Amino acid sequence: MYLCRRMKPLILISNDDGYHAKGLNCLISLLNGMGDIIVCAPESARSGYSRAFSTTTLSMKHRKHIEGKNHTSIDVWSCSGTPVDCLKMAYAKVCPRKPDLVISGINHGDNASTNLHYSGTVGVAIEGSMKKIPSIAFSLCDYDDDADFMPMSSLVLDLVEQVLSEGLPLYTSLNVNVPKEWNGEVRYCRMAYGHWRGEVDERKHPGNGKPYYWMTGYYQNDEPDAPDTDAYALAHGYASITPLTADSTDYKYLNQINKLTNHN
């Protein structure tokens, strides 16, 4: 008679703040012992890279190996490319098998509403879902390099355990944002519509007087009173969880066009 030993989960982690970021290292500490962990993150901050990938030469460097809890292992790599490059490289060259879960973060700063389209953190999660791997992006709405991530630890652990156990629909990822002053409650909600204003700041070079430009601006929520959105949840102290899909089709408009076409 033989006993069947269940294979430990394999968790692939990346981010857009770099392999040295506090949020990433807090995540590694929280998940230590839940499975074998492979980390591949940018060599330096790559915020705003969304789902960009490189068409130039890339390099990887093995940073450290850690003997984890419960007979697990943790290997940390850095990559010279974008967050999505990191996931692609690790998946192709480092992972011994298909990961059971992709996690991105914990990001220093908000990735809710339309901001998620610019986010390298969310880009990693969407890339993971496109590879048919359940994926989660975690962000804390605090841009401080020394932000305190521990208050959200229970949410991280609960969601990771849930997704490892139950999975997610095919091509679906979760975008999780936690306010700096969290009330301890969670809402599942949709992405809010919003946009950035005053995005380009023109300045003059102090030496030659020529103009140069700095990307800046502020976010404006276009539906501040809609209670079913992530922006509303965060503004009222709730953590927001927004399911995302790799399918960007506008089905409402597609159905309208098909009805008109069929009618004619």
Q: Are 133 and 102 in contact (CB under 8 A)?
A: yes
Split at pLDDT 50, 70, 90, the class of 151 is: very high
Beta bridge partners of 12: 38, 102
| Predicted confidence (pLDDT) per residue in 36-49, tens digit | 999 999 998 888 88
210-234 tens-digit pLDDT? 888 988 888 899 999 999 999 999 9
Q: Which two tokens stand for residue 3?
A: 């006993």
What DSSP designation does 67 have? E
Res 72 pLDDT > 50:
yes
Minimum mean pLDDT among 52-61, 127-136, 177-186: which range? 52-61
Q: Report the C-alpha gap between 7 and 172 in whole angstroms.
A: 24
